[in-house]
């Protein structure tokens, strides 16, 4: 008799809830060892009342407000460095001398002129506003100067044209500045008062729309009169400062005065005395100093002279005329600043950082010495233990008898061929049909016209470099072939494939197959430094800078060895050692020329500038990254080079030097990591064609051209462009034909592929000395042309 089973409509009553009547033991059993969240947390937060929470929030707001006000008072105040302003005209119609003359208002304050190379600069002291500025200027055509001065400037003052805003040269300069990182900036328009009154309103509206494309929600000021210049100075003094992370964590300095003292032995080597205001972090005399464009140096001492531009100078009344007052202001020369010099710190040879950037490799390191007798005996014992094999034998079998017993296993017999194949037999699969095409030519009536020869064609051909044009055409062809057939290469017929690709290997899965990062490293890896944990090292160094850094100076004289030069931009290093830098970049949309891997490029990485030949690879989260032969425009890539260690965050700009000496922007991005273990894998794809197809079996040819190569690459897996996978069964004949099996039937138009991989490393082409580029102007057709008078 079958038992009754309830149906799906049977009433389901709720289970009884113990609720708060449960005992402590039952609650612990239900918890199964889990603890409350408050018990697990490191810091138990004290619950505050509503009044206390409001009071705490008010205190936090007050502290932030006081910190912002203290920063404003320090910058440009009597106790801080001057407010450094970089003036950049963004249009060729802008008169830079006129704008600088308006800012040099004698009624506003005291002006100290200073000629620094080709750059106009002056110091403006305004006791009424309790502020002092140091104005410098740079033309957009001199791109290196603009980028270097923007790294140390507190504020950038962009001068706009009232009709167009900026021209193509200014737009190119803005692209580079935005990629590098903009500090605080202000927009000013020059020449709008010269327009008719009816056109001034329309000009402002059009200019506002144009400004919104680059500077969102930013307004511009006018700069045509002394009154407007005063309003602009107030805006600069009260503006909130934007911080650049790569310079806020370091000490940096703009040289106001330079004096070179040659040594007695050699006039090219001596002591360089540099005077300027230290910004950012405090300075440690035992650390190294980097001068942009010249290299790394050690400091001898740091001195503190009197402030050459005091905000409130002392007044001395002469005895002859008590009504006249004379302001005594120190000049910016080194001789005057050395009066009353105070030595702050001297370098300690025991604690001073070394200038050694590379590891000196030991040629004997890694060599194997002859083993001792003890080591040989240990090795024999280990071999004896490892050579013991466990076998199933009948009871009572001796060890000598067990040696003759073979392991049971199925022997694989040879598989008969399903068909006979003669490698000398030639079969034609396609028949060429020749048809005689007979077409009658239709006569057309033509009209004759006399056309004069153009004189400009001959002049245009004179400027064309045929050799450079041929090289560029070849690069365009290679880039096009790489897009159509990625990583595919032709198997050479004069060299055996097992020799040509002997450094390559096959992988079951590019993503999951293991690859030792310490395997087969090049000799250059013995010269670099490597971190055990780069992230922890970076955090500890920045924490040491914030907490344990020694005292610094607002005005310092730094003594290093260098040949005298024009403008100097100084950054204090956290380490000059060489390593492998990985940077994430994206192709600049304004540049369309193909850029091949291992081409020499110019890098602006943080505060450094150098030349190197990088590798391009995919930006993925895996442990292996595929090499890219060209810098593609549709995706972000990782650039790998040998370079001095730089801690992120740091902006990256890539330039390419043309044959005429000009630099064009290639890509922009940021520094990702310093990691020599990041593996860049080069892939080559060998292709073959199905010759005969039998269900899941096929004869493939043209991948190899001899029998030995087929046997050599037999363990490597095959794939097809239509998604089939297979492997080589055996070679057929002596001409490289092979029998392959697949997981499905092949199509006659399919292509058989074999992926081979090897790890690649960048070339050691690091050069810290970058030649100055030729000043340029960007034409309307997005091509860079030299300025007039520069050829």
Stretch 527-535: mean pLDDT: 83
How far is it, in rounded angstroms, from Cα 623 to Cα 621?
7
Tell me the per-residue pLDDT of 322-336, one tens digit each, with 9 for 90 and over. 443 333 343 444 444
The two tokens of residue 173 are: 């300069």
Quick one: pLDDT band at residue 477, thresholds 50, 70, 90?
confident
Stretch 614-631: mean pLDDT: 91
Q: Out of 3.40.50.300, 3.30.450.20, 3.40.50.620, 3.60.15.10, which CATH number does the structure's domain 73-243 have?
A: 3.40.50.300
How far is it, in rounded angstroms, from Cα 132 to Cα 410?
92
How far is it, in rounded angstroms, from Cα 297 to Cα 280?
19
Quick one: pLDDT band at residue 402, thresholds 50, 70, 90?
low
The segment with the largest mean pLDDT, out of 254-268, 472-486, 514-528, 777-791, is 514-528
Percent with pLDDT over 90 in the chain: 18
3-state class (DSSP) for residue 378: helix
- Measured between alpha carbons, how far is residue 608 from residues 333, 364, 505, 649, 655 in Å? 28, 35, 38, 13, 13
Phi-psi region of 520 (alpha: psi -120 to 50; beta: other; left: phi over 0): left
Q: Do the Cβ atoms of 717 and 727 come closer than 8 Å?
A: yes
Quick one: pLDDT band at residue 785, thresholds 50, 70, 90?
very low
User: Chain-centre distance of CA 732, in angstroms?
Assistant: 51
- What does the chain come to in residues? 791
User: So what's the pLDDT on residue 320?
Assistant: 47
Residue owning tokens 């580079």 = 176
Name 706's bridge partners: none
Q: How many CB atoms lie within 10 A of CB 578?
A: 19
Task: Annotate 212-240 with b (16+ C-beta within 10 A) or e (fewer).
Answer: eebbeeeebbbbbeeebbbebbeebbeee
User: So what's the pLDDT on residue 708?
Assistant: 92
Quick one: pLDDT band at residue 81, thresholds 50, 70, 90?
confident
How far is it, in rounded angstroms, from Cα 322 to Cα 126?
25
- Domain-by-domain residue ranges, the chain? 73-243, 244-309+341-355+530-543+554-576, 488-508+682-758
* Ranges 9-23, 513-527, 587-601, 654-668: which has the least confidence: 9-23
Max Cα distance, the chain (Å): 137
Q: pTM for the complete prediction?
A: 0.71
How far is it, in rounded angstroms, from Cα 714 to Cα 739?
11
Task: Could you list the beta-strand ranges (E) of 322-447.
Answer: 326-327, 342-346
Quick one: pLDDT band at residue 584, thresholds 50, 70, 90?
very high
In this model, does residue 475 exceed pLDDT 60? yes
Task: Could you list the beta-strand ranges (E) of 476-597.
Answer: 488-489, 555-560, 569-572, 578-587
User: So what's the pLDDT on residue 58?
Assistant: 94
User: So what's the pLDDT on residue 761?
Assistant: 93
**Same topology for domains 73-243 and 488-508+682-758, yes or no?**
no
Tell me the per-residue pLDDT of 431-458, one tens digit each, with 9 for 90 and over. 333 344 444 344 444 344 444 444 455 5
User: So what's the pLDDT on residue 324?
Assistant: 39
User: So what's the pLDDT on residue 381?
Assistant: 77
Mean pLDDT, the chain, rounded, equals: 77
How far is it, in rounded angstroms, from Cα 60 to Cα 52?
12
User: So what's the pLDDT on residue 558?
Assistant: 41
3-state class (DSSP) for residue 700: strand
* Ranges 2-16, 399-413, 673-687: which has the least confidence: 399-413
Q: How many CB atoms lie within 10 A of CB 484?
A: 8
Number of helical (H) and strand (E) elements in the chain, helices listed first: 17, 34
Residue owning tokens 């140390």 = 152
How far is it, in rounded angstroms, from Cα 626 to Cα 619?
9
CA angle 209, 214, 218 (to 5 degrees): 70
Domain at 488-508+682-758: CATH architecture? Beta Barrel (2.40)
Task: Give the CA dihedral 626, 629, 632, 637, nearest 10 degrees.
Answer: 40
Quick one: pLDDT band at residue 55, thresholds 50, 70, 90?
very high
Q: How many CA atoms lie within 13 A of 620 on its CB side?
A: 15
Tell me the per-residue pLDDT of 91-110, one tens digit each, with 9 for 90 and over. 888 888 888 888 887 777 78
Query: Which residues, other chains included, contact 327 with Cβ-Cβ below 8 Å and sequence gap of 6+?
Result: 110, 313, 314, 315
- Measured between alpha carbons, how far is residue 494 from residues 416, 487, 738 in Å? 33, 21, 19
User: So what's the pLDDT on residue 331?
Assistant: 40
């Amino acid at each position: 008799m079958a038992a009754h089973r309830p149906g799906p409509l049977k009433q389901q009553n709720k289970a009884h809830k113990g609720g708060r009547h449960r005992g402590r033991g039952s609650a612990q059993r239900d918890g199964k060892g889990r603890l409350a969240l408050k018990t697990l947390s490191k810091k138990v937060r004290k619950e505050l009342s509503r009044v206390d929470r409001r009071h705490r929030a008010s205190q936090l707001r007050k502290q932030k407000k006081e910190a912002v006000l203290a920063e404003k008072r320090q910058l440009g105040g009597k106790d801080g460095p001057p407010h450094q302003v970089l003036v950049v005209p963004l249009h060729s119609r802008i008169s830079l001398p006129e704008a600088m003359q308006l800012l040099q208002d004698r009624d506003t304050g005291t002006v100290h002129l200073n000629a620094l190379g080709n750059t106009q600069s002056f110091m403006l002291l305004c006791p009424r506003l309790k502020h002092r500025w140091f104005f410098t200027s740079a033309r957009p055509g001199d791109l290196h100067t603009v980028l270097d001065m923007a790294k140390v400037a507190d504020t950038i003052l962009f001068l706009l044209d009232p009709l167009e805003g900026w021209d193509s040269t200014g737009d190119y300069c803005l692209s580079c500045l935005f990629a590098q990182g903009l500090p605080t900036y202000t927009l000013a328009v020059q020449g709008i008062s010269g327009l008719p009154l009816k056109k001034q309103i329309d000009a402002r509206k059009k200019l506002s729309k144009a400004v919104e494309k680059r500077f969102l929600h930013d307004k511009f000021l006018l700069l045509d009169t002394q009154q407007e210049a005063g309003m602009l100075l107030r805006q600069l003094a009260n503006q909130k400062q934007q911080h650049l992370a790569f310079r806020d964590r370091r000490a940096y300095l703009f040289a106001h005065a330079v004096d070179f003292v040659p040594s007695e032995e050699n006039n090219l080597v001596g002591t360089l005395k540099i005077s300027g205001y230290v910004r950012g972090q405090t300075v440690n005399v035992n650390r190294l100093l980097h001068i942009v464009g010249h290299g790394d140096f050690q400091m001898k001492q740091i001195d503190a002279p009197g402030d050459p531009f005091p905000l409130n100078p002392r007044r001395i009344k002469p005895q002859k005329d008590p009504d006249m007052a004379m302001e005594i202001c120190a000049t910016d020369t080194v001789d005057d600043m050395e009066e009353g010099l105070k030595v702050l710190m001297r370098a300690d040879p025991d604690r001073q950082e070394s200038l050694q950037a590379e590891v000196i490799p030991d040629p004997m390191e890694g060599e194997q010495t002859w083993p001792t007798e003890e080591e040989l005996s240990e090795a024999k014992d280990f071999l004896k233990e490892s050579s013991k094999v466990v076998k199933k034998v009948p009871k009572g079998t001796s060890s000598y008898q067990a040696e003759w017993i073979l392991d049971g296993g199925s022997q694989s017999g040879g598989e008969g061929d399903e068909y006979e194949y003669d490698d000398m037999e030639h079969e034609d699969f396609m028949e060429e049909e020749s048809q005689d095409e007979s077409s009658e030519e239709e006569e057309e009536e033509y009209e004759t016209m006399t056309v004069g020869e153009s004189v400009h064609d001959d002049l245009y051909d004179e400027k064309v470099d045929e050799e450079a044009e041929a090289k560029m055409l070849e690069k365009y062809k290679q880039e096009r072939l790489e897009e159509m057939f990625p990583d595919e290469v032709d198997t050479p017929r004069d060299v055996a494939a097992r020799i040509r690709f002997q450094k390559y290997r096959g992988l079951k899965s590019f993503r999951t197959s293991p690859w030792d990062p310490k395997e087969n490293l090049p000799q250059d890896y013995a010269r670099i430094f490597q971190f055990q944990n780069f992230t922890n090292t970076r955090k500890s160094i920045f924490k040491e800078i914030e907490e344990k850094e020694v005292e610094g100076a607002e005005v310092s004289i730094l003594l290093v060895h260098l040949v005298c030069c024009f403008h100097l931009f100084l950054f204090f290093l956290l380490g000059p050692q060489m390593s492998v830098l990985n940077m994430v970049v994206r192709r600049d949309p304004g540049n369309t020329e193909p850029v091949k891997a291992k081409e020499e490029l110019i890098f602006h990485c943080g505060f450094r500038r150098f030349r190197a030949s990088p590798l391009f690879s995919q930006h993925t989260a895996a442990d292996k990254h595929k090499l890219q032969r060209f810098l593609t425009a549709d995706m972000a890539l990782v650039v790998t080079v040998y370079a001095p260690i730089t801690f992120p965050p740091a902006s990256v700009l890539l330039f390419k030097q043309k044959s005429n000496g000009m630099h064009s922007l290639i890509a922009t991005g940021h520094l990702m990591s310093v990691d020599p273990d990041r593996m860049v894998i080069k892939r080559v794809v060998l292709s073959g064609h199905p010759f005969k197809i039998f269900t899941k079996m096929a004869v493939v040819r043209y991948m190899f051209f001899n029998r030995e190569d087929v046997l050599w690459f037999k363990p490597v897996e095959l794939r097809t462009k239509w998604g089939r996978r297979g492997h080589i069964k055996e070679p057929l004949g002596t001409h490289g034909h092979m029998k392959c099996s697949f997981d499905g039937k092949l199509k006659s138009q399919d292509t058989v592929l074999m992926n081979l991989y090897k790890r690649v490393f960048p070339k050691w082409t690091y050069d810290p000395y970058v030649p100055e580029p030729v000043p340029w102007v960007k034409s309307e057709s997005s091509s860079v042309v030299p300025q007039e008078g520069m050829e």
